């Protein structure tokens, strides 16, 4: 994996945390492997301070453990954890979409449609990094339109636990995701809060099973580690 340019970036610790998360979820860092502070800082061409901050952040998220005199070790990624994250995203994201359907203005709708067009183009061109960025912008725009900053901030925190960078490489997911997005857009245009809630909730929960299967195939998640059935993992009403 190509190492991005870190030296010129603001908020380095967040960028480093995102980079290490991606390495965990693409299998570059495996469970039980140590992430060496000095080695990673040298690789990225930055000081150890933002790297240390990033590793502490990932420890708080449960992706790493700190062991005395040995450093930070990668913890196993489980299907149950990924299912739990998807279910919480579905609940909070659905509520945000419902509020956005009520509050969203015409200019916000136009901007959202433009993001969706750019996102579909990125997928068509095979621009995975662009697709990840635009997908994030699409969801962020809806969360902003909800005009519920505390809930949107909570959603942002939850999203850190989801391996967004993996989704473009999951077979069949880009096409399925675009259909979901169009359903969400249609609900927002109608200002139908119930339809928007269901469309967004279904979208965010639907990714759990293909994500887990994808990560099992790549050895990131162990077979049978936690809940892998969508029916078992879905929120009960």
Residues 46 and 97 occupy one common structural domain: no
* DSSP line for 138-167: HHHHHHHHTT-HHHHHHHHHHHTTS-GGGG
Q: What is the CATH number of the domain that holds 41?
A: 1.10.10.10
* Cα separations in angstroms, 24 against 144, 197, 204, 220: 30, 31, 21, 8
Residues 67 and 139 occupy one common structural domain: no
pLDDT of residue 237: 36
Domain count, the chain: 2
pLDDT of residue 26: 86
pLDDT of residue 66: 94
pLDDT of residue 236: 37
Residues 43 and 132 occupy one common structural domain: no
Q: Which residues of the chain have pLDDT under 70?
A: 1-10, 223-237
- Establish if 7 belongs to a structural domain: no
Give the predicted TM-score (pTM) of the model.
0.80
Q: What is the CATH number of the domain that holds 132?
A: 1.20.120.530
Domain that holds residue 25: 12-74
């Amino acid at each position: 994996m190509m190492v991005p340019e870190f030296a010129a970036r603001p908020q380095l610790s967040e960028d480093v945390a995102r980079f290490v998360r991606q390495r965990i979820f693409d299998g570059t860092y495996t469970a039980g492997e140590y992430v060496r502070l000095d080695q990673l800082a040298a690789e990225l061409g930055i000081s150890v301070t933002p790297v240390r901050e990033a590793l502490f952040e990932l420890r708080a998220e449960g992706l790493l453990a700190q062991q005395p005199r040995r450093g930070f070790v990668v913890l196993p990624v489980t299907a149950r954890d990924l299912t739990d994250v998807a279910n919480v995203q579905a609940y909070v994201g659905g509520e945000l979409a419902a509020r956005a359907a009520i509050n969203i203005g015409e200019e916000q709708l136009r901007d959202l449609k433009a993001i969706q067009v750019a996102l579909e183009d990125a997928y068509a061109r095979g621009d995975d990094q662009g697709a990840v960025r635009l997908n994030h912008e699409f969801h962020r725009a809806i969360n902003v339109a909800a005009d519920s900053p505390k809930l949107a901030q909570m959603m942002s925190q939850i999203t850190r636990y989801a391996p967004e960078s993996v989704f473009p490489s999951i077979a069949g997911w880009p096409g399925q995701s675009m259909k979901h997005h169009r359903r969400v857009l249609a609900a927002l245009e109608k200002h139908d809060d119930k339809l928007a809630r269901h469309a967004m909730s279904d979208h965010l929960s639907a990714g759990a099973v293909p994500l887990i299967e994808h990560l099992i195939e790549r050895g990131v998640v162990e077979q049978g580690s936690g809940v892998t059935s969508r029916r078992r993992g879905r929120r009960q009403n």
